[in-house]
Structure formats: C-alpha cells, structure tokens
A and B are shown apart, each in its own frame.
Chain A
Amino acid sequence: EAGVTQSPTHLIKTRGQQATLRCSPISGHTSVYWYQQALGLGLQFLLWYDEGEERNRGNFPPRFSGRQFPNYSSELNVNALELEDSALYLCASSLETHRGSPLHFGNGTRLTVT
C-alpha cells in the first residue's frame, strides 16, 4: 500500500512569491491534514480537509489556503511568502475522522524562502 506522497520534496522561493505544495493521501483515506514544522517550534496544525470541504484551520493568516480535489488529493498554497514561512510542510491522511483513527504522514515538502 502506497503511503502519503508529497511533492515537491524541496522548494526554494523568494520573499513575496507564491508556493504550491501537493499531497496524495493513502488510497481510501478521505481526510487530509496539513501541518507546518518549523525549526524549534514543533508541529503546528494548518488545515483539515474532508470530502472536499475545509473542516477547520489553525491559527495561520489567510495567505495560507488550500483545497481538496474529488480524488481526495490536496494542495496547499502560500501567498506573499515571508522568510518565516521557511519550514517543513507535512501532509497527513486518515481513514476516519475520530480521535481513534491514526494520522499517517508523508515525508513533507521543505520550503525555503530567501
């Protein structure tokens, strides 16, 4: 069974540009979650999509947005990039949405903003 796949693995952008990150969940998983893991700050919840709808978002500005496609893959867009957006962006998927259903993570996209 293929795991969660993310692309690209590395992305280098300059301040003010836009970045698009992509995620394919495990087959059969309908929920996709996005997290930011910045150095020294741990894991921060960004967005949750389920059945094509945004279900919740973390404490991030509106320039962080995304969507989920009919095949349950997802895209994270970051507009007007700032230096502090440099981080590892992780996507996870789960089979169900209750707390007893584990999240399975991809290996992330390393975004560097210069």
Chain B
Amino acid sequence: DAKTTQPPSMDCAEGRAANLPCNHSTISGNEYVYWYRQIHSQGPQYIIHGLKNNETNEMASLIITEDRKSSTLILPHATLRDTAVYYCIVVNDYKLSFGAGTTVTVRA
C-alpha cells in the first residue's frame, strides 16, 4: 500500500472549519483514500473515502487533487467532540495500516 504523510498535529477553533492535509504521492490507480479518526481508548471511526472524485457526507468533505497525489479532509464546523487522531490511509485491500496520523485539538 502507498504510504501517506500527515502533519503531526494541528489546532482548530470551535465552530471553524478544520482542513487536514495528506500527501500520498505514490498512490496507484486502484487505491482508495480513506480517512478514519480515533478518540482515545476507542476504536477507529470511519469518516469518508474516495477514489478520484470529491466526496461529502454528514461528517466531512474529502477533496482529492486531480493527480491524486494529495487530499484534504474538511470538517466544516469543528466541535470539541472532533478532538481526535485523524488517519489518512491509502487502501488496496483489507490490510489497513495506520501511520501516526494528525492529532487534532479543537479549542473553545
């Protein structure tokens, strides 16, 4: 699976949009970009995924660049409950591999 690069941490003000970047320059054509998050002591929570097109659901939006070498997860209105570690992963099969992720802290 292609590796991803994410900033180790970022802060966000409550109520503002949080934009989380991810680089995946070695992604291959059939690999999906997935985002999960993990709050301490809980299992990873699925957020969103995409292949080529931008995607939006009730939790977030995913913007994938045209060359697919990077993507951005957008949390439109961050709340304190969004404080978590966010993992961007590239998936070819079920053998998921999480890196260090981005620790997002939402501040009141």
Contact = CB atoms under 8 A, between A and B. Distances in A.
Interface size class of B (residues with CB under 8 A): 20 to 34
Contacts, number: 53
Interface string A70-111: 000000000000000000001010100101101111111010
B46 A99 contact: no
B58 to A, nearest CB: 14
Contacts of B30: 99
B43 A107 contact: yes
B43 A106 contact: yes
Given A100-B32, A102-B34, A42 B97 contact: yes
B43 A43 contact: no
Interface string B17-47: 0000000000000111010100001111110
Contacts of B32: 99-100
A48 B44 contact: no
A33 B97 contact: no
A4 B34 CA distance: 19
Nearest to B96: A43
Interface in B50-97: 51, 91-97
A33 B43 CA distance: 13
A104 B46 contact: yes
B37 to A, nearest CB: 11
Which of A33, A35, A94 neighbours the largest number of chain B CB atoms within 10 Å of its CB?
Answer: A35
A31 B93 CA distance: 13
A4 B14 CA distance: 30
Contact of B44 (A6, A31, A45, A105): A105
Nearest to A94: B94
Contacts of A106: 43
Interface of A: 4, 6, 31, 33, 35, 42-43, 45, 48, 56, 58, 90, 92, 94, 97, 99-100, 102-108, 110
Interface of B: 30-32, 34, 36, 41-46, 49, 51, 91-100
